[in-house]
Amino acid sequence: MELKSLLDYPDAPEVLEDGDTFYKNALKKGRFFANYTGETVIADDSGLEVDCLNGVPGVYSARYAGPSASDEDNIEKLLHVLDGVSPDQRTAAFRCVLVLCDPEGNHETFEGILKGVITKERRGSKGFGYDPVFFYPECGKTVAELSPEEKNRISHRGQAFGILKKRLQEQLVSR
């Protein structure tokens, strides 16, 4: 088995993520690139869902403050929208949906979720995106305060890949 990334396909076009769920975006990308490459591919979509905002920013996490928004812009908008909201109402989750697609159109889905609370101010300098304002109670830190090893162990993306890895191992054993 050989792993490749889209960097191995420099002429690959971008896929418009216009689905209204992480699953729809991941599946669209997975099917497109499985067709494009003729290979089995893993595609994902992920983001932040804030409970008191009915899941917003959700699929718009990367562009919450606008199409060319930076991580800082997105955080600033989120903190502004949540201004005055009590800590017990600031619950949120990072969600990742992975889709394993083959060129014949078959696919399997794997999901990871990391639950936490949105802080009132940034803490930490590691990570990216909403990590500085996403507090993970079990560690007593924001995700941006975690080491890369700690983050990889608990992250929504790490969880989803862990489930995918287990599934692939099961398939190899059953052959």
Point out the residues that are catalytic: 45
Nearest residue to 99 via CA among 40, 19, 30, 32: 30
How is residue 70 annotated by DSSP?
-
Q: Hey, what are 145's tokens?
A: 């305060």
Q: Strand, helix or coil at 98?
A: strand
Specify the amino acid at residue 154.
I
d(C-alpha 159, C-alpha 151), whole Å: 11
How is residue 65 annotated by DSSP?
T
